[in-house]
Amino acid sequence: MPKITIIGAGSTVFARNIIGDILFLPAFREAEFALYDVDEKRLDDSMMVCGKMNAKIGAKAKFEKFCGPTKRRESLKDSDFVISMFQVGGYEPATVIDFEVSKKHGLRHTIADTLGAAGIMRGLRSVPVFLDICDEILEVCPEAWLLNYVNPMAMISWAVTALRPQVKYVGLCHSVQGTAHELARDLEIPDGSLSYLAAGINHMAFYLHFEQVLADGSHKNLYPEMLEGYKAGRIPKENTDLPRCPNLVRYEMFKYLGYFVTESSEHFAEYTPYFIKAGKPELIEQFRIPLDEYPQRCIEQVAGWKKGLAEITAGLDKEIEPSKEYASKIVNAIWTGKPEVINGNVANCGLIDNVLQEAAVEVPCFIDSQGIHPVKVGKLPPHLAALIATNVNVQSLFVEAFVQEDVQWLYHAAMMDPHTAAELSMAEIYALMDELLTEHKKQSALYRLPGWV
């Protein structure tokens, strides 16, 4: 039977979704799961949830926990699939440092897990861990597929595919299928009637076409209806799950670009220089941009964890619904040969002609028993490629820090960030990076760039 290792299994809610999806698959009803985390209490919570879910679904999977920094390699031994879902440094101290130091220097964030000075720091915490994981995979399970859900997705994917190309890797996100669901709700049409092609980079991929398949089999372009609805104020509908995070930024970008981006408005606001400006607070008010949103979510999740765990446990006594995540589709397609198509993050290598060829891109991927086969998209509309290039510039210089083993490239990466450069001078950017690096150095021994550690 297949063996699946979950790294970061203490992320109980997400682990429940991923593992639950896999347990629904007939080929995985007796699979072996190795659950790894550095937090034993959260790991025990996940073990309990998985045991109950296993029984509820009627599966006979085996679960074994591995806790602590010396146990990860053991958890990986003989694995067929490795799924990563962790955050190095956690909310405290790492995320707090990212937000508070940036704010002190005049730079405000919403989520800060993808780009900008804070995204660079999150990548700096994460990439060394991934390179270690990759080395362990090559030692104890070299044929395993690494399915990564950790942000900053593009930076990690680029670093892994460039520095550990022997590892079978794909980066996964739920923004493509998640946004499609949101747009179907705005348009009041069924999810299942949608047909689309999305491509770009993670958190900045665009629907190159977005259509509804009608009853007679014909395709209707939905973009005119979406644009008309936005201009008339009928859409977007309020986000009932996250009322602080309306979808206004993306629709505004759609109005000017002609294509809809796949990542949420609270994310996308900080990938461009157009929305978060200290000198123009009216923009933040107009587009209801939730500054400091990610710390607020973390505080709420920490405060409500006991209640949340109780709700999860109670929910397991009811009907368990599959999620929309891609991981189960991938492991099933590779293990059984039943083909699937997902959107994955992989090395470009000719997939998108007018995006830097070394970059990590997000494109449709065909999956079968032979593995993951990215689909060539060709040339993006030039203005989309130009906007994507502003983010790729940051990612490229970030990865260069690891290629050259020189921390100075992180400063250059921050200089190229669209939002950071729109708010701060070069001297201010250097001062910000100096303090971020200094504060993180006090907290962690995970950074291994010569000239700093």
Q: Which residues are catalytic?
A: 174
3-class secondary structure for 235-301?
CCCCCCCCCCCCCHHHHHHHHHHCCCECCCHHHHCCCCCCCCCCCCHHHHHHCCCCCCHHHHHHHHH
In degrees and rounded to multiples of 5, residue 252 shows phi and psi of -65, -40
Neighbours of 314 (CB within 10 A): 9
Cβ–Cβ < 8 Å for 390, 418: yes
> Helices (DSSP H) in 105-247: which residue ranges?
116-140, 153-163, 175-187, 223-232
3-class secondary structure for 159-180?
HHHHHCCCCEEEECCCHHHHHH
In degrees and rounded to multiples of 5, residue 249 shows phi and psi of -60, -45
Q: How far apart are CA 452 and CA 245, in angstroms?
A: 38
For residue 297, with 0-12 CB atoms within 10 Å meaning exposed, 13-18 middle and 19 or more buried, which class applies?
A: middle
Cβ–Cβ < 8 Å for 417, 116: yes
Q: How far apart are CA 289 and CA 247, in angstroms?
A: 9
